[in-house]
Amino acid sequence: MPSILVTCYSRTGKTKILAESIGKGAKEVDGIDVDVLAFNRVSASDLVRYDGIILGSPVYFGGVAAELKEFIDDTTFVRGKLVGKVGAAFTTAGDRTGGKETAILSIVQAMLIHGMIVVGDPISPEANNDEHNGGHYGLAADGQLTENDLRQAEHFGRYVATVVSRMC
């Protein structure tokens, strides 16, 4: 059965909450195994087992947290083994203009270097414009998480899982 891993570095828990909502949405898609794993339980070599990989980090100084960067750097040892897998990224920030897109793009950049097929965060047909966060390159939220952020995260998870199920 196709499988998806959702994991993220999270120091104060916000990004982890998004990861859980992404996982919840992904689990709604039939025929996909979804693991939402704590960051300290995942090593770069585990990624090889999954068809879809959804990685997240808080924004730290406009980029990803050093812990997530270290994890990404470790994936050099599985270079060539992630080709053709589906990838997606998410982040949380303190501020509205806090660097969410640059953080997401640095995750996406690594995924592209691995030859992964990156899925963005298209506007949900169910959401009205006031509600939508406009992730564009991946899922993003800032400030206190709202019900809408969590709904959007579930939608993102469902969407990535749907793409994985179509491709596998």
Ligand X SMILES: Cc1cc2nc3c(=O)[nH]c(=O)nc-3n(C[C@H](O)[C@H](O)[C@H](O)COP(=O)(O)O)c2cc1C
Report the interface residues with ligand X, using CB under 6 A.
Answer: 10-16, 58-62, 92-95, 98-99
Closer to ligand X by Cβ: residue 88 or 93 = 93
Closer to ligand X by Cβ: residue 98 or 157 = 98
**Contact call for residues 23 and 36 (beta carbons, < 8 A):** yes
| Least distance in angstroms from the C-beta of 102 to ligand X | 9
**Closest-CB residue for ligand X?**
98
| Least distance in angstroms from the C-beta of 7 to ligand X | 12
Tokens of 137: 């390159």
**Contact call for residues 7 and 55 (beta carbons, < 8 A):** yes
State how far the Cα of 83 lies from the Cα of 136, in Å rounded to an integer. 23
| Least distance in angstroms from the C-beta of 59 to ligand X | 4
Reported in sequence order, the residue ranges of the chain that DSSP labels E, i.e. its strands, are 3-8, 33-36, 52-60, 63-64, 86-93, 117-118, 139-142
Closer to ligand X by Cβ: residue 95 or 126 = 95
